[in-house]
Amino acid sequence: MLTRLLLAPFTVVNVVVFGAALIVKVVALIDALIRPQLAFRSAGKQSKVFWVAVLALAVVFYYGLGLLGLAGLVAAIVYLVDVRPRLRELRRGSRW
């Protein structure tokens, strides 16, 4: 009983961290889905199919922060920090 009470905060932290990681992955996937294929080519990044496949696998194979979960989280962060700003920049300039 005492052990349960002592470990309860860690369970809440785990749920929050895992939930946040899943939200980041889903947001990245949705963003990749709504961007046009031509924008990816114009930005000089990997294709839309590549990013959608990687991010979909990141969501489907969600194992918290295990090896696959961590790799998926890294892919989602790379997309959101590197690819998405470039795509948005192109959208503003209408270069595609």
Which carries the bigger pLDDT value, residue 5 or residue 9?
A: 9
Interatomic CA distance for residues 78 and 33, integer angstroms: 16
Most confident of the following: 2-6, 12-16, 72-76: 72-76
Residue type, 79: Y
Identify whether the C-beta of residue 96 lies closer than 8 Å to the C-beta of residue 38: yes
Give tens-digit pLDDT for 41-61. Answer: 998 899 999 999 999 999 998
Which pLDDT value is given to residue 12? 77
Q: Where are the alpha helices (DSSP H) in 1-96?
A: 2-34, 37-43, 48-60, 67-78, 84-93
| Averaged pLDDT score across all residues of the chain | 86
**Tokens read off for 57:** 């696998």
Q: 58 burial class (0-12, 13-18, 19+ CB within 10 angstroms)?
A: buried
Using the predicted structure, report yes or no on whether residue 94 has a pLDDT greater than 70: no
